Amino acid sequence: MASPTIPTFYRVFFSTIDPLIALSGALTQVFAPATILTLYNPSSAALPPAIETTVLLDSTAGYLVSTMFLQVVMLRARPADLTVWRCLQGSILIQDLAIIGAVVGALKTQHRLDWGLVTAKEWSNLAILAGVGALRVAFLLGIGVGGRGKAKKT
């Protein structure tokens, strides 16, 4: 049976577009924390942010950049290693789900779970997370990935 190959769409998305999304999030967290804080709480008045908030934002930005590095470098270094690709996408999917859960938790705490109370920025954030998460799930399930045999090592 033929070894599976990473389809062009997944290859381009996961190694180029997705890292750019992560980079935009990291840069926003470091250089425009008010944008992030008001995204999760539109009535956020704690600006400039408290030290512990800055530490958390900067730490998360570091995580996003490290993930971006793996997407850009490792996926290009192992272009046909389906196991590596799946492990990385599974790991990032966990992060995506954690962020969605945190956003929903924040909305619940603010009593804003009704559809009409969620802001356009929040909907955009959730749509991007859910959309990219759905792509990760599709990839992990092998949708569009030819030859479901053993991963090829390079």
Which token pair is 8? 């062009």
CA separation for the pair 93, 138 (Å, rounded): 11
Domain boundaries, the chain: 8-140
Q: Residue 42: exposed, middle, or buried by beta-carbon count in 10 A (0-12, 13-18, 19+)?
A: middle
Q: What is the pLDDT of residues 91-100, one digit of tens each?
A: 999 999 999 9
Q: What is the dihedral of CA 78, 139, 90, 35, to 10 degrees?
A: 100
pLDDT above 80 (res 148):
no
CA separation for the pair 79, 85 (Å, rounded): 8
Contacts of 109 (CB under 8 A, 6+ apart): none
Residue 152's CB: how many other CB atoms inside 10 A?
17
pLDDT above 70 (res 145):
yes
pLDDT given for residue 42 in this prediction: 79
**In terms of pTM, does the model score above 0.75?**
yes
